[in-house]
Structure 1
Amino acid sequence: MTSQRDIFLFVALAVAWGTAFGAVEVGLATLPPILFAALRLDGAVLLFAAAIAAFGYEWRPRTREDWVTIMISGGLIVGGHYGLMFLGQSYVSSAVAAIVLSLTPIVTPPLAIALLPSERIRAPAIVGLVVGLAGVVIIALSGGSLDGQVIGVALLFGSSFVFATGAVLTERTRGTLPLLPLQTWAMAVGAAMLHTLSFAHPGEAVVSTLTTAWTPETAAALVYLAVVSTAGGFLAYFTLLERVGASELSLVNYASPVVATVVGWALLGESITLATIAGFGLILLGFALCKIDALWKTAAPVVGYGPTRQVAAAAEEIVVDGNVYVIGTGNDRYVGSVRSAD
């Protein structure tokens, strides 16, 4: 992830997913979690379906690989991830939810090594993951998130695990569908799964909720989640997944807790302690260690290290008996070429 495009998409994804936790917190005040997660996906599916029709994309799955990719993405990355995430956040604050989900980079590399034979992990990345995990633990403990909220933390950890599993398995598939139709199918599968679970759940009360739970804040949160965090977020996510891979992309979960905590403090009144700031520092250090190669390639020329190209001396032309000799120097050796004076 060294190109400007990849870095921009990474930052945009961190903001889209980090601010989502605050919107979820607002919506959970009136909507049950599984139904809220399903409605979030409904809006994104409608937007993507309209885009497919407008651009004339091929939308029908044609191969077995297409269907395998759709079912993995829809069942794990979308349905399983969002269902467990919304349930878990109903027990904890938005900042803590984002922090626990930042365990995804810890889970993804071992899964990638187990499921993808070509995947390898280097020592600085291992140290970086451990340092980042230490920052996550400090932030979680500073807010008391593990005291009396074990169910919520366990659900959120399950969310990070199924997301990482889906991301790694998706990297192994080679479907024929374009990116946008693939995302639309995945979100439709995830939404159908969550609607089924919500309808079967005795505590969701779907019919009565849909007629009584709406407030301006709930509607605004749902629209933001569908348009920005889900449609925009998954477009950036799947684009980066194809370009940089699951292990590297999972590091976005180290950046989104920073965004979530700032939003929770500014808009929801959640506190930020010195321990939280220290945890953020460790998260950033862990990210830097995981990306040390790319950072060095960028910084080395600036500080004067790394390979440099020797500038050749200016060429000279000498005319001898009607022939022009073009002579230049390179590595202290004379290099000549000859052309006719005519």
Structure 2
Amino acid sequence: MSRYRTPVLFLLLSVFWGTAFVAIRGGLEYFPPVLFAALRYDLAAVFMLAYAAIVTDRPVPRTGGEWGLVVIGGVLLIAAYHALLFIGQQSVTSAMAAVVVSLSPVLTTAFARIWLPSERLTPAGLLGMALGLLGVVILSRPDPENILSADVIATGLILAAATAFALGSVLLRRSEAELPIETLEGWSMALGALLMHTLSVLLASESFAAIEWTAEAVLALAYLAVVSSAIGFLLYFDLLERLGPIEINLVSYVVPVVAAVAGWLLLAESIDATTIGGFLVIFVGFCLIKRRQLAAELPAMRAAITDRL
């Protein structure tokens, strides 16, 4: 059974994160978007901080540098990413949102080239970056006569969410401070939830009175908080240690497939050729940027697959 552990965990993570887009889309029928995201991370933070207290010897950051990591995580990876994503998903399908978010590895690489002096984008890398952005344009289908349509704005918000996540990931890598990942995640979730609650209060259109507490609403919130967030992140970091950053990045390209199928089955969302085309263009861009790393990893990936079969 142990030799199947990694592929099983990879599949579970893809399902948990892919279906998260469907849960968000479904839950937005009952929650204001930013408040919905905040409540998700209220619950996830409690779960993760309790877990950190059990498995680490440093459940609370101690230095300014460690708290700096929490600020980066809370502001960019949790608050900015999820507030923008939840607002954007009000107007686009689960599959389209997942495809736009799959641009994150491309954006992460681009930011790394800017912020990490030892790395630079080659001409092929620049082409890959351009293809990734082209994929988003294909998805948004901008109409020159109606450039401010709901779909275009929503796609732009989700792209901004992916950009915030990518920037936060690179800034965390640049920092010299170290913190157990469970502690970092727990406190980042708590800070991000607090920031989103603050934003929700400032938005005149959001209030607790606007929530419809149906069984479907509770199920969507619980699924996102426990399965997609708390358990999903634990699986992610387990796989990151087992597979490394190249292979685990590939989960970003399985998630949209899961989101598309789940959206079709559960929400009757359509899967059109434009969504598939945008996804393929983004994936080609990723392969161009990561071509050397992927080529170096292929022998090991083939050997690992052979050993698991």
Normalising by structure 1, what TM-score? 0.74
In the alignment, which residue of structure 2 is the partner of 1:172? 174
Instruction: Name the aligned partner's letter for residue 85 of structure 2.
Output: M
Q: Separation in 2 of the partners of 1:288 and 1:111?
A: 16
Counterpart-to-counterpart distance in 2, 1:126 and 1:8: 35
Q: Which residue of 2 aligns with 1:256?
A: 255
Counterparts of 1:252-331 in structure 2 under 5 Å? 252-289=251-288, 290=290, 292-294=294-296, 296-298=298-300
| Deviation for aligned residue 1:139 | 4.6
| Distance in 1, Cα, partners of 2:25 & 2:121 | 36
What is the aligned partner in structure 1 of residue 156 from structure 2?
154
Greater gyration radius? 1
Instruction: Specify every segment of 5 or more residues in structure 1 that has no aligned partner in the other structure, as ranges.
Output: 303-342
Q: For 1:298 and 1:26, locate their aligned partners in 2 and report how far apart those are by CA, in whole Å.
A: 40
Cα distance 1:146–1:64, how it changes in 2: closer, same or farther (>3 A)? same
From the superposition, tell whether residues 276 and 194 of structure 1 become closer, same or farther in structure 2 (CA, over 3 Å): closer
CA deviation after TM superposition for structure 1 residue 182, in Å = 1.3
RMSD of Structure 2 on Structure 1 (CA): 3.3
* 1:87 is the counterpart of 2:87: yes
Q: Which residue of 1 aligns with 2:111?
A: 111
* Length, aligned pairs only: 294
**Equivalent residue number for residue 48 of structure 2:** 48
Q: Secondary structure at the match of 2:254?
A: helix
| More displaced 10-residue stretch of structure 1: 219-228 or 100-109 | 100-109
Q: Which residue of 2 aligns with 1:235?
A: 234
CA deviation string 1:91-137 (max 9, x = no partner): 22222222222232332222111111233456665555555555554
Alpha-carbon separation, structure 2, partners of 1:178 and 1:299: 28
Residue 52 (structure 1) shift = 2.9
> 1:209 maps to what in 2?
210
**CA distance 1:275–1:198, change in 2 (3 Å):** closer
- Alignment partners' CA distance in 2, 1:293 and 1:197: 44
1:260 deviates by 1.2
Instruction: Using the TM superposition, give the Cα deviation of residue 235 of structure 1 relative to its aligned residue in structure 2, in angstroms.
Output: 2.8
Q: Distance in 2 between matches of 1:114 and 1:248?
A: 23
The code of the aligned residue for 2:64 comes to: R
Distance of 1:123 and 1:5 partners within structure 2: 39
Identity across matched positions, percent? 43
In the superposition, relative to structure 1, how do residues 169 and 5 fare at CA in structure 2: closer, same or farther (>3 Å)? farther
Is the deviation greater in 254-263 or in 215-224?
254-263
**2:269 partner letter:** E
Could you tell me how far apart the structure 2 residues matched to 1:17 and 1:166 are?
19
Q: In the aligned structure 2, how far is the partner of 1:239 from the partner of 1:121?
A: 29
- Structure-2 residue corresponding to 1:193: 195
More displaced stretch, 264-273 vs 146-155:
146-155
Question: Aligned partners of 1:100 and 1:179: how far apart in 2?
Answer: 26
**Which protein has greater RCO, CA pairs closer than 8 Å, 6+ apart?**
2
Letter in 1 for 2:258: V
Task: Say which of 184, 187, 209 aligns to 2:186.
Answer: 184
**Letter in structure 1 aligned against 2:114:** A
Relative distance call for 1:31 and 1:299 in structure 2 (3 A) is closer
Cα drift, residue 200 of structure 1: 2.0
Counterpart in 1 of 2:68?
Answer: 68
Q: Secondary structure at the match of 1:154?
A: helix
Relative to structure 2, which stretch is displaced further, 189-198 or 230-239? 230-239
- Using a 3 Å threshold, how does the CA distance of structure 1 residues 266 and 254 change in structure 2: closer, same or farther? same
Residue type at the aligned position of 1:44: A
- Summarize deviations over 1:146-187 as a string: whole Å, max 9, x none: 782222122111111111110000011233431111110000
Code of the aligned partner of 1:253? S
Higher helix proportion (structure 1 or 2): 2
Moved more, 266-275 or 6-15: 6-15
Which stretches in structure 2 are left out of the alignment for 5+ residues?
Answer: 305-309
Are 1:221 and 2:220 an aligned pair?
yes
Bigger shift: 250-259 or 278-287?
278-287
Alpha-carbon distance in structure 2 between the residues aligned to 1:88 and 1:127: 27
